[in-house]
Amino acid sequence: MTNENQPTPEKTALGARDKNRIVAADDVRVDTWDACVDFPIFDAKTRSFKKSVLGRAGGVIGASDSGVAMVEALRNIDLHLEHGDRVGLVGHNGAGKSTLLRLLSGIYEPTRGACRVRGRVAPVFDLGVGMDPEISGFENIVIRGMFLGMSRKEMLAKTDDIAEFTELGAHLEMPLRTYSTGMRVRLALGVVTSIDPEILILDEGIGAVDADFMRKARIRLQALVERSGILVFASHSNEFLAQLCDRALWIDKGEIKMEGGIEEVVGAYEGPDAAAQVRKVLARMEAEE
């Protein structure tokens, strides 16, 4: 992570969201400067929010000048990532992790401040998004891949490999609606881990598959992360974070509370037992290399 100066008005005016353009590795970057995201809640049944209200979980609730309730989901986020950065996000429920991922994916614009993303972004928030229950597994492989920024031709070339990985055999000819939850996750993981993104934005949502398959999926997930330029990954699993990321950000009430190595940040956020777990995973990975 390196700092880059605040963008000049000219740079910001260009918009500079080149997420569908393939850029040289050195140019793949994510920058935010004091970025804030607020959600106005017009139908909130509130007593008046004269003061900002703070719970342990969730963003800060306040009110706009006109009295509309407002959740401050992100505040003053200054983040500068370049090719090779693999960053994990930790924090309580409602801390702002998903909102930050959506900001970096271009789904949300900052309410204040600026955000600039250079590179092709693959946002993987929900494994099931972009899947059609009425078409076959094979057809879904192509559609889901296109949804993640790949071309039809690229996906057709990957179909055999994905089919083999999923171990779904003849089921791939059947409509997706006939699949169990675990079968759907296998298919979705097969597609997601086959793509070639420059910036991979990953929200944890993986779980419904058996342990053997998850072991196999992790190897593919690690390979995916290695060929992506930048990874930003929100997770409540310290094991996953240790396996995929080399740095972490602790997000708390919409702000970056701490930034550092995984062990250091997880230790500060969750305590020494969690830090020891990270150390164990790192040692195991080193032994396996």
138 binds ligand ATP (CB under 6 A): no
88 binds ligand ATP (CB under 6 A): no
For residue 37, the minimal CB distance to ligand ATP (Å) is 8
Q: How many residues bind ligand ATP (CB under 6 A)?
A: 14
Do residues 179 and 137 lie in contact, with contact meaning Cβ atoms separated by under 8 Å? yes
Sole binder of ligand ATP in the list 95, 155, 188, 192 (CB under 6 A): 95
Sole binder of ligand ATP in the list 28, 30, 63, 73 (CB under 6 A): 73
Q: In the beta sheet, which residues pair with residue 118?
A: 18, 29
- Give, in order, the Cα–Cα distances in Å from 188 to each of 93, 135, 146, 163: 25, 14, 13, 11
Q: What ranges in the chain are assigned the alpha helix state H?
A: 9-13, 97-104, 137-147, 152-166, 181-192, 211-227, 238-244, 262-270, 272-288
93 binds ligand ATP (CB under 6 A): yes
Do residues 275 and 267 lie in contact, with contact meaning Cβ atoms separated by under 8 Å? yes
243 binds ligand ATP (CB under 6 A): no
The residue range among 46-54, 90-98, 169-177, 279-287 that interacts with ligand ATP, by the rule CB under 6 A, is 90-98
Sole binder of ligand ATP in the list 28, 30, 31, 59 (CB under 6 A): 59
DSSP 55: -
For residue 150, the minimal CB distance to ligand ATP (Å) is 26
Sole binder of ligand ATP in the list 7, 58, 130, 175 (CB under 6 A): 58
CA distance 35 to 114: 5
- Exposure of 120 in the CB half-sphere (CA atoms within 13 A): 18
Sole binder of ligand ATP in the list 76, 98, 111, 237 (CB under 6 A): 98
Residues near ligand ATP (CB under 6 A) are: 39, 41, 58-59, 71, 73, 91, 93-99
